Structure 1
Amino acid sequence: MVDLLLRGIVIGIGATILMDVWAIVLWKIFGESRPNWGPVGRWFWHLPRGTVFHDTIAQAEPYTHESALGWIAHYAVGILYGIVLAFWGGEAWFATPTFLPAFVLGILTVGAGWFLLQPGLGIGWAASKLPNANKVRALNLLAHTVFAIGLYGTALLLPA
């Protein structure tokens, strides 16, 4: 059980790093905006205070270290997803990793962004309040596919 937990942590970190590299590629090569984890940190900071959904996170009370908290939350969630895959796939999956379970989990995790985080930030269900909602949705799906590749690829690098 501890081995699965540790493997889950490692693949979660590896997948999140690859997702961040993907964001850098989108920024440097395609001119997309860099991720801003500050609003996410502010959202996480307000959760224990009982506020999940904001009209706009920009109007919520700021938190001094919200950018750092956003980065920590980003990696904590990636690690959590890695642990979920580790326990879902078990030792058998780590012995011979396949892409499909990682891909299924990666796509399912888009739902957390679309139906919890994005409405929580005040940008609507699946970014519906944004003028470029379909582009945001496509980029979300791509990023989480890259995350899935990271889960699978990191698992391939681990000893059986």
Structure 2
Amino acid sequence: MTEIAYVRGDATAPQARGVKIVAHVCNDLGGWGKGFVLALSRRWPEPEAAFRRWHRERAGNDFGLGAAQFVQVEPYVWVANLVGQRGTRTARSTGVPVRYEAIDAALGRLADTAVELGASVHMPRIGCGLAGGSWAKVEPLVLRRLVERGIPVTVYDFGV
């Protein structure tokens, strides 16, 4: 079994040949405006537009915790919007918005799509920024859902 490759760099500029999927965690409120999504939107407008449309039309689709949306942004690059966060953190929040079971389910969908496309997966430490999660809890999910299926995974630590 291979391991996760950890590199310093920008997950929106994946360092690999072939088809690549840039994965990140979104909230279930349809909000897009803080954290890693800002870097995504600076690079490609399509993931934000698709996510907002997906949320707006949620009565007729699969939007919700554990869902995954795949948006092609370049001939060999896709972005995976993974819904793994219940709401957002506010000044009055007492808990964290991360939902590990939702990240796990969304990673399963990501794995199926990565296999189908023959893609590698690139991500920041998903669920550990604004969602407030712990990489010690997310990493085993990434290993089980992706790495154990033979999918190359690179995790990017920006500016570390």
Provide the TM-score with structure 2 as the length reference: 0.28
Q: Scaled by the length of structure 1, what TM-score is found?
A: 0.28
Q: Whose Rg is larger?
A: 1
The structure with the greater share of residues assigned to strand is 2
Which is richer in helix?
1
